[in-house]
Amino acid sequence: MELQRVARETLEGGLRAVIGKMTPEEIVEDRDKFVATVMHEVTDDFRKLGLIIDSVNIQNVQDNQQYLESIARKASAEVTSAARKAEAERAAEASIKEAEAGASARTAAAERDAEAKTAEAVSRRKAEEARLTADKAIAEADNDLRIRKAELAREAELKEAEQQQAAAKAEEARLNATHVAAAVAERDVAKAKAEGEAAKVLEEGKARAAAVELIGQSIQKHPDALKVMLVELMPGVVEEVAKSVNNIALGEVTVIDGGNGQAIAGAAMGRARALSETLATLETILGVDLREVSRGIAGNLGKPARADTVE
**Domains annotated on the chain, with CATH:** 2-113 (3.30.479), 223-303 (no CATH)
76 or 91, greater pLDDT:
91
What separation in angstroms does the CA of 291 have from each of 101, 228, 230, 294? 173, 13, 12, 5
Q: What is the pLDDT of residue 308?
A: 47
Q: In the predicted model, what is the mean pLDDT of residues 141-165?
A: 90
Give the DSSP letter of residue 23. -
80 or 252, greater pLDDT:
80
Query: What is the rounded distance in angstroms from the CA atom of residue 271 to the CA atom of residue 24?
Result: 209
Spatial neighbors of 224 by CB under 8 A, at least 6 apart, are 296, 300
Query: What is the rounded distance in angstroms from the CA atom of residue 154 to the CA atom of residue 158?
Result: 6
- Band the pLDDT of 276: cuts 50, 70, 90: low
Q: What is the pLDDT of residue 247?
A: 54
Q: Which of 65-74, 227-236, 249-258 has the lowest mean pLDDT?
A: 249-258
Q: What is the pLDDT of residue 286?
A: 57
200 or 89, greater pLDDT:
89
